Amino acid sequence: MIFQFIIYAIIANGLYDIASAASIFKMINYSALNRLSIFTGSQSPVFERVLGYYILINGLVRVFGGMNLYQLAVAKIVVGSYFAEAAFLANELFNHKSVDKTKGEYIIGFCLVMGSLASYNYFF
């Protein structure tokens, strides 16, 4: 039961990531989805596109990985996507100071929790 909820949460988060990437690419116009708002200052168009592709890939990994989370190899990839996102944002927040502190800390914490939950079936 708990594992099924975790799967749904991962898939929902993946769908959010895909929609967020579409917002960065200006395929949809919904500012609440645009993750560029977490960065301070203006970003170059190349940075925006690379971030959009990165978020899109994470979303696809989470949607399709969530559907097959019961397989250990897939679970490791999903867990890795969350921990990599947390590491990326932590680097931007603490080393480069290019991320809004409150938003950055929230997303880092969320990624660490989701990454831990994605491994639930194998450790608990």
**Domain range annotation of the chain:** 2-123
Task: Measure the CA–CA gap between 38 and 68, rounded to whole angstroms.
Answer: 31
- C-alpha distances in Å from residue 105, one per residue of 14, 22, 49, 73, 119: 20, 24, 23, 28, 22
Task: Measure the CA–CA gap between 24 and 87, rounded to whole angstroms.
Answer: 21
The whole-chain average pLDDT of the chain stands at 92
CA torsion angle 68 19 47 101 (round to 10): -90
Residues 6+ apart with CB under 8 A from 61: 14, 77, 78, 81
Is 110's pLDDT higher than 90? Answer: yes
Q: Is 100 helix (H, G, I), strand (E, B) or coil?
A: coil
Does the predicted TM-score (pTM) go above 0.75?
A: yes
Give, in degrees to the nearest 5, the angle at Cα 34 between 33 and 37. 125
CA 106 to chain centre: 12
pLDDT digits (tens, 9 = 90+) for 32-84: 777 778 888 888 999 999 999 999 999 999 999 999 998 999 999 999 999 99
Contact 20, 59 (CB under 8 A): yes
